[in-house]
Structure 1
């Protein structure tokens, strides 16, 4: 029996970058109560929880478990939620945050066991046409970029809610 090989330097570097962005996502929300997390912040109507749910389902779950490895259970479940950006007011904030944490752990398992040069296993042509990404590396970089962009959105939302800013030295 052989041990699973440790991730190579590139995988470790990409995973470290992604984990930093994920910490930012959760960190900027620390201290907000359930009402603030559920409250729509921008005219488009999204809430902080809606953005986190989008990251859990449309980003972490979609790119790593559906697109990268073609998990059929995940692919079948993609249509279970009508609009991931909308979180029912009765859904506890902790449930959405815990789902994000779970999806990031599951994604990390994919990242540490999938070669960066691997071809993507599945793509929803019926929704998006031809894929614009072709390797697992490209998918990981896309998720890092999207997570970082949404961390910035949450920075702005948090400042609008209570004036708090992430990593501001005083």
Structure 2
């Protein structure tokens, strides 16, 4: 029997959940049927791999979802070294494991979309890519996760087509 979920109270939240679900499905569909060797193969001049993209998207979504709740403390462990490790499978990691982690992250984010105050804001941490003193609402965080997922699903589609000619769409 499927686990009960919190009802979605309004159209905006339903739209966010549907859009997140759609782009996540594109990304998961793109890596369907791959071995770990295929999923970690570089198929373009880029260093990107399909497994690395899924791992990165899961890590990014988890961090931003945490930010929606805790604010800038969510970025406390974000270093260039940690970020670089998001893109590669470590020894013992598998595509199946990365996809399972992504499912856990997605379920947690979906619950937050259903329940957090979308107008709640937090200051962004200091970083060269953020305007000093800027804030983000939970709403904007979830929109960012949609954009990040969609962008990387497109990257993954190119890598998959380069690998074996398969396409997510078309």
Quick check: TM above 0.5? yes
8 Å contact kept, 1:61–1:74: no
Q: Give secondary structure in 2 for the equivalent of 1:99.
A: helix
Is 1:61–2:62 an aligned residue pair?
A: yes
Give the aligned partner of residue 119 of structure 1.
121
Aligned in 2, Cα 1:164/1:68: closer, same or farther, shift over 3 Å? same
Give the aligned partner of residue 135 of structure 1.
137
Flag structure 2 segments of 5+ consecutive residues without an equivalent: 1-5
Give the aligned partner of residue 49 of structure 1.
51
Give the alignment partner of residue 107 of structure 2, picking from 105, 108, 121.
105
CA drift of 1:90 comes to 4.1
- Inter-partner Cα distance in structure 2 for 1:123 and 1:26: 30
- Inter-partner Cα distance in structure 2 for 1:146 and 1:106: 17
- Inter-partner Cα distance in structure 2 for 1:131 and 1:156: 37
Flag structure 1 segments of 5+ consecutive residues without an equivalent: none
Is 1:81–2:92 an aligned residue pair?
A: no
Give the alignment partner of residue 40 of structure 1, picking from 31, 39, 42.
42
TM, length-normalised to structure 2: 0.82
Q: Give secondary structure in 2 for the equivalent of 1:167.
A: coil
